[in-house]
Structure 1
Amino acid sequence: MARSARGARPRTRAGRLRAGTGRLKAGAGQLRTRAEHLRTSAEARFPVVGEVTGRLLSANLLDAATRLAAQAFLASIPLLFAVAAFTPSGVREQLRESLRGLFGLTGRADLELQQVLGNSSGELRETTGVIGLALALASATSFSRAMARVCERAWQLPKASTRIAAWRWLVWLGALVVFVLVQGPVREGFGAGMWLGAPLLFLLSTLVWLWTQHLLLAGRVAWLPLLPGALLAAAATNTLALSARLYMPAALNRALGEYGSLGLVLTLLSWLILVCTAITFAVTIGAVAAQEPPLDRLLDRGRGPHPVS
């Protein structure tokens, strides 16, 4: 009897284990069913939710954001050296102050930036040359093309012809450099402080992203439907800029100390991937929201995408 009782314990323990596993599976199934029901209900009440989910899953947005970040990094290097070589010292100093404020640079990272934007424009100009500058700017347009493709995918538009879009790529690059230059004084509210600078920077960012979409889409979408994407992109980039001032200084200095220039590259590229992912999602969600109820009626969807003439 004792032996049979001892033999029954393992079977009882195994039975309890199987019963517990069954309850867990049943609970997981109920959670999946409930989540599916909630998703279906949300899509029925708010059709934009289903459209946003479908667009985010079908457009390979993470791949597009990664390519955009890579092109942004590759474009920033020739643009930085071009500014250092061909602009007056006041412009270089303003760019340094804006980048220092954007990333909160201190210590070794700030010294590295100073070496690039320091008093070496004559040497850089001789090394770079006008032909080198032209080639650098031409290669930097890859960032403009990648940004244009993100906007076109968000609005499900075909690529604009090179004849129509080429000048827009160069104009957007120039405007982007100017935007980075003025970020420093705008962020500080032109001396008044962050209480004025923060809303001013958000307003300026919204205008920049509104104009960016309209320019790179070659005017195929009216201004008003582009507003949701511009607001979301401005909110995302400004939030990341504020967080960068808290995280990036220590991360950059630590990366420089442990891995040298390679660590600096990896840290900046990681941050760019995060920023470009936020921009890609913001523009796409804004495009979907502008084409779905209730915003489509408010933004006059009839004046949305139209062919390039």
Structure 2
Amino acid sequence: MPMKPSGAADRSSRFGPLHRLISHSPVGRGWRRSREIELWSRSLGFAALGLLTLVPLLIIVSSADPEHGRGFAQWLGEGLGVSTASMRQVEQLFTGPGQALRTTTAFGIAALAVFGLTFGAAVQTGYEKVWGLSPARWWARWRHVMWLGVLTGYLYVSATTALRREPLAGGAVVSLSAVLLLWWSQRLLLGGRIRWRALFPGAVATVIGLLGLRVFSRLVFSPLIASNTVTYGPMGTVLVIQSWLVGVGIVVFGGALVGRLLHEELPRMAHARKRRR
């Protein structure tokens, strides 16, 4: 029978307790659950459907009010947190605020609706995997319609609101409204099977993650837009936007997973603290 080298045995005995400690910690449980729900694969699917759904939807929504709307390029640039030079590269990819509505066809709107409902189903499936729930019945598809309608309204308000001129007040209102939207989205798409109180930490964690992603985008994606445009042309900007959407998917599903862990671990930690006393 082959014997382990003494050095490997020493390292195993040395790091074994640390490995067991991490494995049984909330971080270890969260890592295992992220692998169980296939977080990376779901984020890639989120990005693909987001590019087919969110980008056209945002273009149309931001064009609905050409007088006060900012246009999708400016909306996306602010979401990415890019610099002025990178913003110009983003603006070159998209039409002006008033042109999208004039050139949109009935077939385009129908395709957008189909992709939008599929996108809602993908988000619902991700939430169900996070909470370990069985798939909803087929007649629950009306929730995707309602969710897409509310999302459209929220995007319209965020694209045309005058609060953007007040950075502090506007930022607070946008963050609070995002928490409420994500809180309600989880409750709706999960069919009320999880209590409101259990879903709230996930909504807060997702918004915090989105704010962190904006800072990361400012530091990483903004320079990438400039360099990729030189190397790949306009397609380089598309690649950066696609990567950003993957990050959004990780934050959306990862935030819900962090919310579940907080909901489960905080009472357990409080109980363990009482027992020590």
Q: Does residue 185 of structure 2 align to residue 218 of structure 1?
A: no
Q: Match for 2:112 among 131, 136, 159?
A: 136
State the AA in 1 paired with 2:167: G
Structure with more relative contact order (C-alpha pairs < 8 Å, separation 6 or more): 2
Q: Give the alignment partner of residue 43 of structure 2, picking from 61, 65, 77.
A: 65
Q: Which residue in 2 is equivalent to 1:83?
A: 61
Among 225, 231, 246, the residue aligned to 1:258? 231
Give deviations 1:224-245, integer Å, cap 9, x for gaps: 1101111111110111123323
State whether residues 209 and 251 of structure 2, in contact with CA within 8 Å, keep that contact through their aligned partners in structure 1.
Answer: yes
2:148 equivalent in structure 1: 173
* Structure 1 unaligned residues grouped into runs of 5+: 1-21, 299-309
Mark the structure with the bigger radius of gyration. 1
The aligned counterpart of 1:98 is 75
2:250 maps to 277
**What is the match of residue 167 of structure 2?**
193
TM-score by length of 2: 0.79
**Distance in 2, Cα, partners of 1:119 & 1:164:** 35
- Equivalent residue letter for 1:157: L
For each residue in 1:173-195, what CA deviation from the matched residue of structure 2 results, as whole angstroms up to 9, or x when unmatched? 34334444555788x9654434x
Q: CA separation in 2, counterparts of 1:68 and 1:277?
A: 9
What residue is the counterpart of 1:74 in the other structure?
52
Please state how far the C-alpha of 1:129 moved relative to its aligned partner: 1.9
| 1:94 CA drift (Å) | 5.5
Asked if 2 retains the 8 angstrom alpha-carbon contact of 1:84 and 1:117, the reply is no
Pair 193,60 (structure 1): closer, same or farther in 2 beyond 3 Å: closer
Given that residues 185 and 191 in structure 1 are in contact (C-alpha distance below 8 angstroms), is that contact kept between their aligned partners in structure 2?
no
> Pairwise CA RMSD of aligned residues?
3.4
Residue 163 (structure 1) aligns with: 139
Unaligned runs of 5+ in 2: 272-277
Which segment is superposed worse, 150-159 or 199-208? 199-208
**8 A contact 1:103–1:245 mirrored in 2:** yes
TM-score, with length taken from structure 1: 0.72
* Length, aligned pairs only: 267
